[in-house]
């Protein structure tokens, strides 16, 4: 009798999150909160960024994006040691890879303030 380990059904890759849509980013945050990776916290918000591209005749608006943000800057990153620009790019283009989570020792008081704000 041989034991074969056949893989289960293939898991399709996650679809990229449209970070140009506040709704899509909000849905992603709620999914990550339900999965326990992000906490319901007063410090968790969505930043709106206008990317400007430097051109010889002056900066032009290149794109607008919505990104999750922590006011305490306490996200735990899957990839350590990234610069601010690398973190922004990872959130903009790789949000579907779940690159961030909240630390397990996140301040409980902030969570209670968030719940009381509803």
Condensed to tens digits (0 to 9), the pLDDT of residues 5-20 reads 556 666 666 789 999 9
Query: Does residue 7 lie in a domain region?
Result: no
Query: Does residue 72 lie in a domain region?
Result: yes
pLDDT band for position 95 (cuts 50, 70, 90): very high
Residue 67 main-chain phi, psi, to 5 deg: -135, 145
**How much is the CA Rg of the chain, to the nearest whole Å?**
18
pLDDT band for position 118 (cuts 50, 70, 90): low
Hey, what's the torsion of the CAs at 35, 40, 44, 45, to 10 degrees?
A: 90
- For 56-80, what is each residue's pLDDT tens digit? 776 666 778 999 999 888 899 999 9
Query: Does residue 96 lie in a domain region?
Result: yes
pLDDT band for position 4 (cuts 50, 70, 90): low
pTM over 0.85: no
Query: Does residue 41 lie in a domain region?
Result: yes
How confident is the model at residue 41, as a pLDDT? Answer: 86
Query: Does residue 3 lie in a domain region?
Result: no
Residue 29 main-chain phi, psi, to 5 deg: -60, -45
Query: Does residue 69 lie in a domain region?
Result: yes
Domain that holds residue 31: 22-116
Q: Residue ranges of the alpha helices (H) in 1-102?
A: 22-35, 84-94
Domain count, the chain: 1
Query: Does residue 78 lie in a domain region?
Result: yes
Query: Does residue 56 lie in a domain region?
Result: yes
């Amino acid at each position: 009798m041989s034991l074969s380990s056949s893989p289960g059904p293939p898991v399709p890759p996650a679809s990229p999150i449209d970070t140009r849509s506040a709704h899509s980013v909000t849905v992603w945050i709620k999914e990550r909160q339900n999965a326990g990776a992000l906490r319901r916290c007063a410090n968790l918000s969505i930043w709106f960024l206008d990317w400007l591209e430097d051109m010889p005749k002056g900066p032009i608006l290149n794109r607008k994006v919505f990104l999750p943000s922590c006011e305490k800057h306490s996200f735990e990153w899957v990839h350590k040691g990234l610069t601010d620009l690398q973190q922004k790019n990872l959130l903009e283009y790789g949000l579907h890879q779940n690159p961030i989570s909240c630390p397990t020792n996140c301040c409980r008081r902030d969570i209670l303030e968030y719940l009381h704000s509803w």
